[in-house]
């Protein structure tokens, strides 16, 4: 869906809300607007992922309490505390829950935000972008497209060429060195 279509639907929804027409109807309209797939500059693959589901109790056993809180409860680690914030090795970052490749170190940069920042995803379709108004501010949440784990948020203030800043919790990713398989 293109930006113009999203803006038109967004304006319709706001008009409906302003007129106090049924919230159910306005929420039904917004359901499709903000669920999109992140686009990468890598156009070589049309990545189709199959959604994986994990038993919550087994995840609690496998993940640390912080990893579980961040990925399953949409939590956030404290800024400047994550192990990958000032980490500069070459390799790939994968989802801590399902091991899907998400980001490459070539797109990682120091944004000063306190969390690892990337300006692009590894491949098209690796993450889902969702509208998040949980803190009274509208942001764009980033989730793994394969297992729906919360990863962080994306902002439009990153470096060229994408001008995106994927602000990702260290607790939601693992680093894989080149030549190592997950």
- Alpha-helical (H) ranges within 19-150 are 23-30, 56-62, 65-73
| Domain range list for the chain | 1-33, 37-176
Catalytic, 147? Answer: no
The pLDDT of residue 179: 83
Question: Which of these is catalytic: 95, 98, 144, 167?
Answer: 167
Q: What is the DSSP string of 123-171?
A: STTSEEEEEE-TTSS-EEEEEETTT--EEEEEES---TTTT-EEEE-GG
The pLDDT of residue 89: 96
The pLDDT of residue 42: 40
pTM above 0.85, yes or no: no
Mean pLDDT by groups of 10 residues along the chain of 182 residues: 50 45 34 38 44 87 97 97 96 97 97 96 94 91 97 96 97 94 64
The pLDDT of residue 8: 52
By C-alpha distance, which of 104, 96, 101, 93 is closest to 49? 101
**CATH class of the region 37-176:** mainly beta
């Amino acid at each position: 869906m293109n930006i113009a279509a999203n803006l038109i639907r967004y304006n319709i929804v706001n008009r409906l809300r302003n007129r106090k027409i049924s919230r159910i109807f306005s929420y039904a309209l917004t359901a499709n607007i903000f669920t999109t797939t992140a686009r990468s500059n890598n156009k070589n693959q049309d990545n189709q992922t199959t959604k994986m589901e994990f038993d919550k109790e087994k995840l609690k056993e496998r993940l640390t309490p912080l990893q579980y809180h961040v990925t399953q409860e949409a939590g956030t680690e404290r800024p400047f505390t994550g192990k990958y914030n000032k980490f500069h090795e070459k390799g790939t970052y994968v989802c801590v829950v399902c091991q899907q490749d998400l980001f490459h170190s070539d797109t990682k940069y120091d944004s000063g935000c306190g969390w690892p920042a990337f300006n692009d995803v590894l491949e098209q379709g690796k993450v889902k972008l969702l509208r998040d108004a949980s803190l009274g501010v509208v942001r764009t949440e980033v989730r793994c497209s394969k297992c729906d784990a919360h990863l962080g948020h994306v902002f439009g203030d990153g470096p060229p060429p994408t001008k995106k800043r994927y602000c990702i919790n260290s607790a939601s990713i693992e680093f894989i060195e080149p030549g190592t398989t997950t």
